[in-house]
Amino acid sequence: MNENALIQTQKLVKKFPVGGGFFTALKDINLNIEEGEFTGIVGPSGSGKTTLLNILGALDIPSEGDAIVLDNNIGKLSHKEAAALRNHHFGFIFQTYNLLPVYTVYENVEFPLLLQKKSFAERDRLVKQALEWVGLMDKIKSRPSQLSGGECQRVAIARAMVKEPKIVFADEPTANLDAENSHNVLKTMVKLNQEIGTTFLFSTHDEKVITYLRRIISLNDGKIVKDEMVSGN
Protein backbone atom coordinates (compact mmCIF):
# COMPACT_ATOMS: atom_id res chain seq x y z
CA MET A 1 0.00 0.00 0.00
CA ASN A 2 1.21 3.54 -0.81
CA GLU A 3 1.40 5.44 2.48
CA ASN A 4 1.21 8.84 0.79
CA ALA A 5 -1.95 8.09 -1.11
CA LEU A 6 -5.18 9.80 -0.10
CA ILE A 7 -7.21 7.04 -1.67
CA GLN A 8 -6.21 3.40 -2.02
CA THR A 9 -8.22 0.47 -3.16
CA GLN A 10 -7.17 -3.14 -3.04
CA LYS A 11 -9.05 -5.88 -4.87
CA LEU A 12 -12.19 -3.81 -4.61
CA VAL A 13 -15.33 -5.61 -5.73
CA LYS A 14 -18.90 -4.39 -5.75
CA LYS A 15 -21.86 -6.63 -6.43
CA PHE A 16 -25.56 -5.75 -6.63
CA PRO A 17 -28.34 -8.26 -6.16
CA VAL A 18 -30.29 -8.70 -9.39
CA GLY A 19 -33.13 -11.16 -9.61
CA GLY A 20 -31.93 -14.34 -7.99
CA GLY A 21 -28.24 -13.62 -8.48
CA PHE A 22 -25.69 -10.81 -8.46
CA PHE A 23 -24.37 -8.28 -10.94
CA THR A 24 -20.71 -7.41 -10.44
CA ALA A 25 -20.31 -3.69 -11.09
CA LEU A 26 -16.65 -3.45 -10.01
CA LYS A 27 -14.13 -6.22 -10.43
CA ASP A 28 -10.84 -6.28 -8.62
CA ILE A 29 -10.12 -2.53 -8.62
CA ASN A 30 -6.66 -1.53 -7.43
CA LEU A 31 -5.71 2.10 -7.52
CA ASN A 32 -3.96 4.87 -5.60
CA ILE A 33 -4.80 8.53 -5.75
CA GLU A 34 -2.48 11.09 -4.22
CA GLU A 35 -3.05 14.53 -2.82
CA GLY A 36 -3.59 17.30 -5.33
CA GLU A 37 -4.54 15.10 -8.23
CA PHE A 38 -7.01 16.16 -10.92
CA THR A 39 -8.11 12.73 -11.96
CA GLY A 40 -10.99 11.30 -13.90
CA ILE A 41 -12.55 7.86 -13.90
CA VAL A 42 -13.56 7.58 -17.51
CA GLY A 43 -15.63 5.03 -19.33
CA PRO A 44 -18.87 4.34 -21.14
CA SER A 45 -22.24 4.19 -19.38
CA GLY A 46 -22.51 1.19 -17.11
CA SER A 47 -18.77 0.77 -16.70
CA GLY A 48 -18.96 1.31 -12.93
CA LYS A 49 -17.67 4.89 -12.67
CA THR A 50 -20.39 6.23 -10.39
CA THR A 51 -20.34 3.05 -8.32
CA LEU A 52 -16.62 3.47 -7.69
CA LEU A 53 -17.08 7.16 -6.90
CA ASN A 54 -19.89 6.37 -4.44
CA ILE A 55 -17.71 3.87 -2.59
CA LEU A 56 -14.74 6.21 -2.41
CA GLY A 57 -17.10 8.97 -1.24
CA ALA A 58 -18.35 6.75 1.62
CA LEU A 59 -21.87 6.71 0.20
CA ASP A 60 -21.66 2.98 -0.40
CA ILE A 61 -19.50 0.09 0.82
CA PRO A 62 -17.53 -2.53 -1.10
CA SER A 63 -18.71 -6.12 -1.33
CA GLU A 64 -15.15 -7.39 -1.18
CA GLY A 65 -11.71 -5.86 -0.86
CA ASP A 66 -10.71 -2.58 0.76
CA ALA A 67 -11.19 1.08 0.03
CA ILE A 68 -8.97 3.21 2.26
CA VAL A 69 -9.71 6.94 2.07
CA LEU A 70 -7.81 9.34 4.31
CA ASP A 71 -6.72 6.33 6.39
CA ASN A 72 -10.35 5.22 6.86
CA ASN A 73 -11.44 1.80 5.68
CA ILE A 74 -14.75 2.63 4.06
CA GLY A 75 -16.15 -0.86 4.49
CA LYS A 76 -15.62 -0.76 8.24
CA LEU A 77 -17.06 2.65 9.01
CA SER A 78 -20.30 3.06 10.93
CA HIS A 79 -23.03 5.28 9.42
CA LYS A 80 -22.07 8.08 11.77
CA GLU A 81 -18.36 7.78 11.01
CA ALA A 82 -19.06 7.79 7.27
CA ALA A 83 -21.29 10.85 7.66
CA ALA A 84 -18.58 12.63 9.64
CA LEU A 85 -15.99 11.79 6.99
CA ARG A 86 -18.23 13.20 4.26
CA ASN A 87 -19.05 16.23 6.31
CA HIS A 88 -15.49 17.22 7.17
CA HIS A 89 -13.32 15.99 4.34
CA PHE A 90 -15.38 15.37 1.22
CA GLY A 91 -17.11 17.63 -1.20
CA PHE A 92 -19.62 16.41 -3.78
CA ILE A 93 -20.63 17.84 -7.13
CA PHE A 94 -23.49 16.13 -8.92
CA GLN A 95 -24.69 16.00 -12.47
CA THR A 96 -28.00 17.67 -11.60
CA TYR A 97 -26.40 20.15 -9.16
CA ASN A 98 -28.62 18.89 -6.28
CA LEU A 99 -29.05 22.31 -4.79
CA LEU A 100 -31.71 22.70 -2.10
CA PRO A 101 -34.45 24.54 -4.01
CA VAL A 102 -35.97 26.47 -1.10
CA TYR A 103 -32.61 27.85 0.06
CA THR A 104 -30.81 30.86 -1.34
CA VAL A 105 -27.34 30.59 -2.85
CA TYR A 106 -25.88 31.72 0.46
CA GLU A 107 -27.88 29.14 2.42
CA ASN A 108 -27.00 26.33 0.03
CA VAL A 109 -23.28 27.04 0.35
CA GLU A 110 -23.60 27.52 4.11
CA PHE A 111 -25.34 24.16 4.63
CA PRO A 112 -22.26 21.93 5.15
CA LEU A 113 -20.85 24.42 7.65
CA LEU A 114 -24.06 24.28 9.72
CA LEU A 115 -23.48 20.56 10.09
CA GLN A 116 -20.00 21.32 11.41
CA LYS A 117 -21.51 23.69 13.98
CA LYS A 118 -19.23 26.56 13.06
CA SER A 119 -19.95 30.00 14.46
CA PHE A 120 -21.92 32.49 12.40
CA ALA A 121 -18.87 34.69 11.82
CA GLU A 122 -16.78 31.78 10.63
CA ARG A 123 -19.58 30.49 8.40
CA ASP A 124 -20.13 33.89 6.88
CA ARG A 125 -16.45 34.30 6.11
CA LEU A 126 -16.13 30.87 4.50
CA VAL A 127 -19.33 31.19 2.46
CA LYS A 128 -18.27 34.52 1.01
CA GLN A 129 -14.82 33.17 0.32
CA ALA A 130 -16.27 30.19 -1.56
CA LEU A 131 -18.66 32.40 -3.55
CA GLU A 132 -15.77 34.66 -4.49
CA TRP A 133 -13.84 31.66 -5.77
CA VAL A 134 -16.66 30.86 -8.16
CA GLY A 135 -17.52 34.49 -8.93
CA LEU A 136 -21.11 34.48 -7.65
CA MET A 137 -21.12 37.11 -4.91
CA ASP A 138 -23.75 39.07 -6.86
CA LYS A 139 -26.17 36.12 -6.71
CA ILE A 140 -25.94 35.57 -3.00
CA LYS A 141 -29.66 36.04 -2.34
CA SER A 142 -30.92 34.27 -5.44
CA ARG A 143 -32.71 30.94 -5.38
CA PRO A 144 -31.55 28.08 -7.64
CA SER A 145 -34.62 28.57 -9.83
CA GLN A 146 -33.31 32.04 -10.67
CA LEU A 147 -29.90 30.80 -11.84
CA SER A 148 -28.63 29.37 -15.11
CA GLY A 149 -27.26 25.82 -15.30
CA GLY A 150 -23.70 27.04 -15.19
CA GLU A 151 -24.39 29.25 -12.20
CA CYS A 152 -26.09 26.38 -10.40
CA GLN A 153 -23.10 24.16 -10.91
CA ARG A 154 -20.77 26.90 -9.70
CA VAL A 155 -22.89 27.18 -6.56
CA ALA A 156 -22.51 23.42 -6.19
CA ILE A 157 -18.75 23.81 -6.52
CA ALA A 158 -18.79 26.54 -3.88
CA ARG A 159 -20.81 24.28 -1.59
CA ALA A 160 -18.36 21.45 -2.14
CA MET A 161 -15.37 23.71 -1.54
CA VAL A 162 -16.67 25.85 1.34
CA LYS A 163 -15.35 23.52 4.01
CA GLU A 164 -11.97 23.26 2.22
CA PRO A 165 -12.24 19.49 1.85
CA LYS A 166 -9.42 17.13 1.13
CA ILE A 167 -11.21 15.53 -1.81
CA VAL A 168 -13.98 16.67 -4.13
CA PHE A 169 -15.95 13.94 -5.92
CA ALA A 170 -17.58 15.21 -9.09
CA ASP A 171 -20.01 12.87 -10.81
CA GLU A 172 -20.64 13.95 -14.41
CA PRO A 173 -20.48 17.63 -13.45
CA THR A 174 -20.91 18.92 -17.01
CA ALA A 175 -23.58 16.51 -18.23
CA ASN A 176 -26.35 19.11 -17.98
CA LEU A 177 -24.31 22.08 -19.19
CA ASP A 178 -23.66 23.58 -22.59
CA ALA A 179 -20.12 23.82 -23.91
CA GLU A 180 -19.39 27.33 -22.71
CA ASN A 181 -20.65 26.67 -19.19
CA SER A 182 -18.86 23.34 -19.11
CA HIS A 183 -15.54 25.03 -19.83
CA ASN A 184 -16.20 27.78 -17.29
CA VAL A 185 -17.01 25.26 -14.60
CA LEU A 186 -14.00 23.13 -15.40
CA LYS A 187 -11.68 26.11 -15.39
CA THR A 188 -12.99 27.04 -11.95
CA MET A 189 -12.27 23.58 -10.66
CA VAL A 190 -8.78 23.61 -12.19
CA LYS A 191 -8.11 26.93 -10.51
CA LEU A 192 -9.25 25.62 -7.13
CA ASN A 193 -7.15 22.51 -7.55
CA GLN A 194 -4.07 24.55 -8.36
CA GLU A 195 -4.54 27.35 -5.82
CA ILE A 196 -5.87 25.41 -2.86
CA GLY A 197 -4.52 21.97 -3.63
CA THR A 198 -7.84 20.12 -3.28
CA THR A 199 -7.85 16.70 -4.89
CA PHE A 200 -10.53 16.35 -7.59
CA LEU A 201 -11.85 12.99 -8.66
CA PHE A 202 -14.26 12.95 -11.59
CA SER A 203 -16.57 10.36 -12.99
CA THR A 204 -17.22 11.27 -16.61
CA HIS A 205 -17.46 10.28 -20.23
CA ASP A 206 -17.51 13.87 -21.44
CA GLU A 207 -14.65 14.68 -23.76
CA LYS A 208 -14.66 18.30 -22.58
CA VAL A 209 -13.85 17.14 -19.06
CA ILE A 210 -11.24 14.67 -20.24
CA THR A 211 -9.22 17.43 -21.85
CA TYR A 212 -8.73 19.07 -18.45
CA LEU A 213 -7.68 15.95 -16.58
CA ARG A 214 -4.11 15.27 -15.63
CA ARG A 215 -4.73 11.57 -15.01
CA ILE A 216 -7.24 9.31 -16.66
CA ILE A 217 -8.31 5.99 -15.16
CA SER A 218 -10.28 4.14 -17.83
CA LEU A 219 -12.94 1.78 -16.63
CA ASN A 220 -14.70 -0.74 -18.77
CA ASP A 221 -17.12 -3.38 -17.60
CA GLY A 222 -16.07 -2.81 -13.99
CA LYS A 223 -12.33 -3.19 -14.58
CA ILE A 224 -9.52 -0.68 -14.93
CA VAL A 225 -8.27 -1.03 -18.47
CA LYS A 226 -5.92 1.94 -18.54
CA ASP A 227 -4.38 4.33 -16.03
CA GLU A 228 -2.33 7.12 -17.58
CA MET A 229 -1.02 10.55 -16.77
CA VAL A 230 -1.91 13.19 -19.38
CA SER A 231 -0.98 16.82 -19.81
CA GLY A 232 -4.41 18.39 -19.08
CA ASN A 233 -5.35 22.14 -19.51
Partner 1 sequence: MLSIKLAWRNLIGAGLRTWLNVFVLSLSFLIIIWHKGIISGWDRQAQTDTINQEVGGGVYWHENYDPYDIFTLVDAHGKISQEMENEVKNGKMTPILFSQATIYPEGRVQTVLMKGIDPNQQVLDLPTEKLNIELEEIPAIIGRSMAKNNHLEVGDFVTIRWRDANGAFDASELKIAHIFKTNVPTVDNGQVWIPLSRAQKMLQMPDEATIAIISKENGMNQQVSGWEFKDHDFLLKEIRDMIKMKSFGGYIMWLVLLSLAWLAIFDTQVLSIFRRQKEIGTDIALGMTRGQVIKIFTVEGAMNGFLAAILAAIYGTPLLYLQAKAGWSMPEGTEDMGMAIADTIYPYYGLRMIAVTASITLLSVIIVSFLPTRKISKMNPTDAIRGKIQ
Interaction site with partner 1 (CB under 8 A): 50, 54, 57, 59-60, 79-80, 83-84, 86-88, 90, 92, 94-96, 98, 100-103, 107, 111-112, 114-117, 159
Residue 54 CB, nearest approach to partner 1 (Å) = 5
Q: Which is nearer to partner 1, 102 or 225 (CB)?
A: 102
Residue 168 CB, nearest approach to partner 1 (Å) = 12
Between CA 147 and CA 173, with CA 209 as vertex, the angle to 5 degrees is 40
Residue 125 CB, nearest approach to partner 1 (Å) = 19
Tell me if residue 46 falls in helix, strand or coil. coil
DSSP states of 139-178 as a string? Answer: GTT--GGGS-HHHHHHHHHHHHHTT--SEEEEESTTTTS-
Q: Which is nearer to partner 1, 160 or 216 (CB)?
A: 160
Q: Which is nearer to partner 1, 174 or 216 (CB)?
A: 174
Residue 16 CB, nearest approach to partner 1 (Å) = 11
DSSP states of 184-203 as a string? Answer: HHHHHHHHHHHHH--EEEEE
Contacts of 50 (CB under 8 A, 6+ apart): 171, 172, 203
